[in-house]
Amino acid sequence: MPGIRRLTVAATAVAAISVLATACTGSASNTAADDPNKDVTLNFWHGWSAPSEIKAIEDNIARFQKAHPNIKVNVTGNMTDDKINQALRAGGEKAPDVVSSFTTDSVGKFCNSGAFADLNPFLKKSGIDKEKVFPKTLLEYTQFKGNQCTLPLLNDAYGLVYNKTAFEAAGITEPPKTWSQFVAAAQKLTIAKGDSYEQLGIMPTYHGYETAPQRLAALWSPSYFDADGKSNLAKDPGFAQMLTAQKDLVGKLGGYEKLEKFRTTFGDEWSAEHPFHLGLVAMQIDGEWRAPMAKEAGVKFEIGTAPMPVPDDRVSEYGKGYLAGTIMGIASGSKKQNAAWELTKYMTTDTEAVVEFANAIHNVPSTLAALDSPKLQVSPEFKTFIDIAKHPKSTTTPAQADGGTYQLTFTDFAYAVEKGEVTDIPAGLAKTDQQIDTDIAKAK
């Protein structure tokens, strides 16, 4: 099971952090006075739960403790943002000092509420130039308005995973680079079976696992907010173009109702019964973990990976993708922030630590040095995602004071469009902008 989840937990996280924002009294400034060289015990909470992930964390902590024998780390795994936020509110010796979260969308809340300490003073004190350590896009989703309250801890890149065997059978010689090629390939790969499918080129609906509106919108590189911080969905033509293109693809592959009926037969996204593993879909918009998961599931076909197709008028940008990742921060209420920084600094900036962790759980490294490390285990399938992570046009969704609420609002609108409940997309986007601006104003 991959270590990074995003929109699957965003709604719960947003609700939990909203409560935290009203209760947190932590300061975002660095007033830490503890001596990191004295014997100390840190509480580190994270969300990983699979045995291989737990072992990877334990191995990383063991290496850290060997280098810092005075710092003992108590590790608690499988912690949701809800549990983490409750503990941060309660405080005390059992509360986490260092936190790792899968919910990148909540960084704006974490920073805005003061739940996590601003790491800029710690970075400066350690002589670390963050722009030279981390890719630009990763810094964008780990800070809010200059408050670097989290740092990247591994990275997810989204691309296209495809069934090479099915491609050959359909006479397709290479993965699609443009949207029109993508649509043609999806149609050619679709094999009907009565009122259902024997094989679907791709599940294009937004509930199709990682085929979320944010992933598809990234292909148009739109700006979610204007220079004044106002929601920009209606003004940036990329959003309407994406919504229109996706709805058109849904229609060409059988229509919303037929596709959704087929989707209800799919297995769990994180299980061996994933429809891509079973050959039910030939292409999948997914992260770097999908190819190794498919191999572990014992698929009988050859797997290929490629960047996601780009709009036809953006072919020069082919190779880009959508980036997200796990974040790591220090609780602003912790009395051991200098010691906590030593752990955070090691796990997020030490090249060997980042590479070892990335190798262990098959995620993309989150520092520039680790991305180029000769010790990084790079299969042909994995290299695609390394290249996407390095691509200068790869984008993410920006942090906002309302956390991931604005993304959920956009997603709800996208659902309505694909169902046919909304026909006037420009007018609908304008109303969505108003709702997003209202929600952000309340959050501030």
Q: How far apart are CA 63 and CA 23, in angstroms?
A: 36
Q: Which residues of 335-349 are buried (b: 16+ CB within 10 A; e: fewer)?
A: ebbbbbbbbbbbbbb
Find, among 206, 175, 170, 173, the residue nearest to 190 by Cα.
170
Q: What is the pLDDT of residues 139-174, one digit of tens each?
A: 999 999 999 999 999 999 999 999 999 999 999 999
Question: Could you tell me the sign of the dihedral formed by the alpha carbons of 238, 284, 141, 139, in that order?
Answer: negative
| DSSP summary character for residue 398 | P
Q: Where residue 12 falls among pLDDT bands split at 50, 70, 90?
A: very low
Residue pair 187/253 in contact by the 8 Å Cβ criterion: yes
- Helices 237-252, 405-419: crossing angle, 10 deg rounding: 40
Residue 161 three-state SS:
strand
Task: With residue 413 as reference, give the H or E element that holds it.
Answer: helix 405-419
154 close to 366: Cβ distance less than 8 angstroms: yes
Q: Residue 336 above 90 pLDDT?
A: yes
pLDDT value of residue 248: 97
Q: Which own/partner contact pairs does 238-246 have at CB distance under 8 Å and 24+ positions apart?
A: 239/429, 240/425, 240/426, 240/429, 241/311, 242/213, 242/216, 242/217, 243/213, 243/414, 243/417, 243/418, 243/425, 244/425, 245/179, 245/216, 245/311, 246/204, 246/206, 246/213, 246/216, 246/414, 246/418
Q: 198, 309, 322, 208: which is closest to 260 by C-alpha?
A: 208
| 21-35, 47-61, 70-84, 426-440, range with greatest mean pLDDT | 426-440
Please report which confidence band the pLDDT of residue 299 belongs to, taking 50, 70 and 90 as the band edges: very high
Structural domains in the chain, sorted by start: 7-156+323-390 (3.40.190.10), 157-317 (3.40.190.10)
Residues 6+ apart with CB under 8 A from 423: none
3-class secondary structure, 54: helix
The predicted structure's pLDDT at residue 33:
84
pLDDT of residue 31: 58
Radius of gyration of the chain (CA): 22
At position 201, the amino acid (one-letter code) is G
Structure tokens at 193: 């079976």
Q: pTM to 2 decimals?
A: 0.88
What does the DSSP 8-state code read for residue 105? Answer: G
DSSP annotation of 399 reads P
User: 3-state DSSP: the chain helix, strand, coil percent, rounded to 5?
Assistant: 45, 15, 40
Angle between helices 237-252 and 179-189 (to 10 degrees): 20
Distance CA 47, CA 352 (A): 22
CA distances (Å), 187 to each of 39, 65, 165, 251, 359, in order?
A: 63, 54, 16, 11, 36
Q: With 60 as the cut, is the pLDDT of residue 191 above it? A: yes
Q: Is the pLDDT of residue 21 over 70?
A: no
pLDDT digits (tens, 9 = 90+) for 378-428: 999 999 999 999 999 999 999 898 888 999 999 999 999 999 999 999 999
- pLDDT reported for residue 87: 83
Contacts of 387 (CB under 8 A, 6+ apart): 307, 319
Residues above pLDDT 90, as percent of the chain: 81
**Of all residues in the chain, what percent carry a pLDDT higher than 70?**
93
CB-based contact 263:202 (threshold 8 Å): no
| Rounded CA separation 239/216 (Å) | 9
What tokens does 151 get? 């740092």
> Who contacts 393 (Cβ-Cβ below 8 Å, separation ≥6)?
221, 317, 319, 320
Opening angle at CA 212, ends 377 and 113, nearest 5: 85
Q: What is the mean pLDDT of the chain?
A: 91
More confident residue, 11 or 400: 400
pLDDT at residue 18, as a whole number: 45
Confidence band for 104, pLDDT divided at 50, 70 and 90: confident
User: What is the identity of the amino acid at 155?
Assistant: N
Lowest mean pLDDT across 4-18, 19-33, 227-241, 257-271: 4-18
